[in-house]
Amino acid sequence: MHNIPRDEVFVIGHKNPDTDSICSAIAYADLKNQSENKYIPKRAGNINKETEFVLNYFDVEVPELIKNVDTQLSDISYRLVSGVPGDTTMKKAFEIMQKNDATTLPVVENGKIRGILTVGDIAEAYMLNSEDDILYKARTRCRHIMETIDGEMVCGNPHSYITKGKVIIGAAHVELMEHFVKPDDIVILSDRKESQLMAIEKGAGMLILCLVDKVDDDVVKLAAFKGCSIITSQNDTYKVARLIGQSIPVRFFMVRDNIMTFNEDDSVETIKSVMSKTRVRYFPVVDKSGNYLGLVSRRNYINARKKQVILVDHNERTQSVDNIDKAEIREIIDHHRIANVETLAPVYFRNQPVGCTSTIIYQMYREQNIIPDKKIAGLMCAAILSDTLLFKSPTCTCEDKNAAYALAQLAEINVNDFAMEMFDAGSNLKGKTIDEILHQDYKKFEIDGRTFAIGQITSINTREIEQIQKSMYEYLTDYTENGCDVFLFVMTSILDDSSGMLAFGDEAEEICSRAFQTEFVDHYAYLEGVVSRKKQIVPALVRAVQELDQPE
């Protein structure tokens, strides 16, 4: 049985992650793992240059990308029934089924699914097939006949195939047998020398001698001369006749066309939908390369376990990893406005009005009397410096400053020098497409029935901002995205404590003019002292939309 790690919990920041989102996920997973080693930091999007610099500086691996948290086949237990090669005998296949209490057996070669064999296929082959030439039609090996009837080869090549002939039982008198033994036939006989010699003379391809202790030397010599194989078995004629058909390789009877397989990444909802439309009980599971892994049935997904997640640095559904509503949220650690992530049960929700999620996480380290190591301290310090723009953001609090300086001491870095290096690395936008720049730090917000998409960059290079402004204006003129009503792009100068804003959408300029008490000319306005999307931009937009929607 494929068993999933039952206690695994993912710690995930928001989509289009910034430095705080990534560093908080890593730091909080580290804190939780101090007591239970089951927390894994993940990321919901690609990291930016600034975050890449921070992780490289402190020699920390980038968290693995997770695109959605829907319950997938990899989250449920399914049967690890080993596949069998196509030349496995029907008898052996049935024995494997009985041993594994399975009704379906995959036929696998070089790791790939080649066919499916069910108990029904075996029953049909055994009960309904009466062809006496089935062994050669199925290209049955001599050694498989030996294995099936518990026989030993006295004469012949065990690796050769049956290529011609029918199966007959030589129970009649010699004179009668002469009339129906044909060349290449497989003749099942008892210990009667004259019948054996006659069958060889008539050109039989194989003799199966039942309850024979020793084959006469004359019979062996003639068989070798005529190219006739001889197999002996201690089973009686009836049993050999009953078993020999089970030596056929499974590839002859297996279903090989239109085999439905599932990938470990397939959602449980997809699996349910497919299974409801067919009477097939078991389906093969394959990995991304198409290699066989096991079998899944309806009963496997009944107790499917939702992915366990902790959200950091956000609590808004549009910012969360895809299918967050299909996961079980265990905790939320955030410093933004309380939005619309819903949970089925009460969860630990810690939300504080500070400038950075990592500030909250550092407080939790202190509350538990745990000192973060140098790397983790460096990550949290970097997150605070990034989110507060080196303490210049209006979101910055005394708690943020105190935490940053304490963490800098543990990380053995100079706050100002490190911040300038980090901002310089983060503001290097050369080589990026304008779409990549737009989505580098891009968040969506639901405000009174409207969807706002806000991209933001920060830079210490004024000329760089001016160049991006022109290109972004041209790009957003024709930009559309399903479900979005207003597009804003904010270009923040760290050194000037100000931002330029581009606003597009039917109501964009009207809403933004009201929000920031300034006129937007040709979709653009300069906003002095505005640097924070969380504390300045979004709250102003909320007030403006509410005022706009109030009846006259």
User: Do residues 214 and 313 share a domain?
Assistant: no
Q: What is the pLDDT of residue 274?
A: 82
User: Do residues 421 and 444 share a domain?
Assistant: no
Mean pLDDT of 488-495: 90
Burial class of residue 490 (count of CB atoms within 10 Å of its CB; 0-12, 13-18, 19+)? buried
Q: What is the pLDDT of residue 351?
A: 95
pLDDT band at 430 (very low <50, low <70, confident <90, very high): confident
User: Do residues 348 and 316 share a domain?
Assistant: yes
Q: Which residues, at least 6 apart from 359, have a Cβ–Cβ distance to it below 8 Å? A: 335, 352, 380, 384, 397, 399, 400, 403, 404
Q: What is the pLDDT of residue 276?
A: 78
Mean pLDDT of 527-535: 90
Q: What is the pLDDT of residue 337?
A: 87
Q: What percent of the chain has pLDDT over 70?
A: 97
Q: What CATH number is given to the structural domain containing 228?
A: 3.40.1390.20
What's the rounded Cα separation, in Å, for the pair 401 and 421? 19
Write out the two tokens for 323. 């299918």
What's the rounded Cα separation, in Å, for the pair 199 and 183? 9
User: Which residue, of 247, 265, 281, is where some domain finishes?
Assistant: 247
Write out the two tokens for 405. 């300086």
Give the alpha-carbon dihedral of 92, 93, 98, 103, to 10 degrees. -170
Which of 52-61, 248-257, 454-463 is predicted most confidently?
52-61
User: Which residue, of 372, 394, 426, is where some domain finishes?
Assistant: 426
Three-state DSSP string of 360-385: HHHHHHHHCCCCCCHHHHHHHHHHHH
Q: What CATH number is given to the structural domain containing 62?
A: 3.90.1640.10
Q: What CATH number is given to the structural domain containing 542?
A: 3.10.310.20
Give the alpha-carbon dihedral of 252, 257, 260, 265, to 10 degrees. 100
Residue 27 counted as domain residue:
yes
Q: What CATH number is given to the structural domain containing 291?
A: 3.10.580.10
What's the rounded Cα separation, in Å, for the pair 272 and 299? 10
What's the rounded Cα separation, in Å, for the pair 380 and 2? 37
Residue 134 counted as domain residue:
no
Residue 351 counted as domain residue:
yes
Q: What is the pLDDT of residue 128?
A: 59
Q: What is the pLDDT of residue 418?
A: 96
Cα 345 to Cα 92, 294, 341: the distances in Å are: 51, 34, 12
Residue 78 carries which DSSP code?
B
Tens digit of each residue's pLDDT (9 = 90 or more) over 172-223: 777 777 888 899 999 999 888 999 999 999 999 999 999 988 999 999 999 9
pTM: 0.64
What's the rounded Cα separation, in Å, for the pair 303 and 264? 16
Write the DSSP string, 242-266: HHGGGGSBGGGTSB-SS---EETTS
Cα 322 to Cα 10, 316, 435: the distances in Å are: 14, 12, 21
Residue bearing tokens 């808004």: 316
What's the rounded Cα separation, in Å, for the pair 371 and 511? 46
Tens digit of each residue's pLDDT (9 = 90 or more) over 368-413: 999 999 999 999 999 999 999 899 888 899 999 999 999 999 999 9
What's the rounded Cα separation, in Å, for the pair 328 and 41? 16
Q: What is the pLDDT of residue 220?
A: 94
What total number of domains does the chain contain?
A: 4
As beta bridge partners, residue 490 has 456, 501
User: Do residues 219 and 276 share a domain?
Assistant: no
Question: What residue type is 157 in one-letter code?
Answer: N
**At 413, is the secondary structure helix, strand, or coil?**
coil
C-alpha count within 13 angstroms, C-beta hemisphere, residue 543: 10
Residue 3 counted as domain residue:
no
Q: Which residues, at least 6 apart from 521, have a Cβ–Cβ distance to it below 8 Å? A: none
Worst-scoring range by mean pLDDT, 140-149, 245-254, 273-282, 452-461?
Answer: 273-282
Q: What is the pLDDT of residue 6?
A: 59
Q: What is the pLDDT of residue 463?
A: 82
**Pairing verdict, β 151-155 and 229-233:** antiparallel
Residue 162 counted as domain residue:
yes
Are 415 and 405 in contact by the 8 Å Cβ rule? The answer is yes
What's the rounded Cα separation, in Å, for the pair 391 and 400? 8
Domain residues for the domain of 227 are: 139-247
Q: Over 80: is that where the pLDDT of 126 sits? A: no
What's the rounded Cα separation, in Å, for the pair 205 and 166? 10
Q: What is the pLDDT of residue 552?
A: 58
Are 324 and 306 in contact by the 8 Å Cβ rule? The answer is no
User: Do residues 452 and 503 share a domain?
Assistant: yes
Tens digit of each residue's pLDDT (9 = 90 or more) over 3-20: 555 578 999 999 989 999
User: Do residues 335 and 285 share a domain?
Assistant: no
User: Do residues 313 and 422 share a domain?
Assistant: yes
Q: Over 90: is that where the pLDDT of 260 sits? A: no
User: Do residues 66 and 96 share a domain?
Assistant: no
Residue 525 counted as domain residue:
yes
68 φψ region: left (φ > 0), alpha (ψ -120 to 50), beta (else): beta
Burial class of residue 353 (count of CB atoms within 10 Å of its CB; 0-12, 13-18, 19+)? exposed
Q: What is the pLDDT of residue 3?
A: 54
Residue 133 counted as domain residue:
no
pLDDT band at 122 (very low <50, low <70, confident <90, very high): confident
Tens digit of each residue's pLDDT (9 = 90 or more) over 129-150: 667 778 888 889 999 999 999 9
Are 383 and 58 in contact by the 8 Å Cβ rule? The answer is no
User: Do residues 371 and 296 share a domain?
Assistant: no
User: Do residues 419 and 318 share a domain?
Assistant: yes
Q: Over 70: is that where the pLDDT of 302 sits? A: no
Comparing CA positions, the residue from 221, 245, 216 lying closest to residue 232 is 216
Residue 536 carries which DSSP code?
I
Q: How many residues does the chain have?
A: 552
User: Do residues 454 and 526 share a domain?
Assistant: yes
pLDDT band at 492 (very low <50, low <70, confident <90, very high): very high
The C-alpha R_g of the chain, in whole angstroms, comes to 37
Write out the two tokens for 449. 């029935």
User: Which residue, of 366, 393, 426, is where some domain finishes?
Assistant: 426
362 versus 445: the higher-pLDDT residue is 362
Tens digit of each residue's pLDDT (9 = 90 or more) over 23-49: 999 999 999 999 988 999 999 999 998
Give the alpha-carbon dihedral of 55, 58, 61, 65, to 10 degrees. -30
Q: What is the pLDDT of residue 285?
A: 87
**Helices (H) then strands (E): counts for the chain:** 20, 21
What's the rounded Cα separation, in Å, for the pair 208 and 187? 6
What's the rounded Cα separation, in Å, for the pair 49 and 53? 6
The total of other beta-carbon atoms located within 10 Å of residue 322's CB is 13
Tell me the average pLDDT of the chain: 89
Residue 507 counted as domain residue:
yes
User: Do residues 460 and 541 share a domain?
Assistant: yes
Q: What percent of the chain has pLDDT over 90?
A: 53
What's the rounded Cα separation, in Å, for the pair 135 and 376? 68
Are 493 and 459 in contact by the 8 Å Cβ rule? The answer is yes
Worst-scoring range by mean pLDDT, 95-104, 329-338, 496-505?
Answer: 95-104
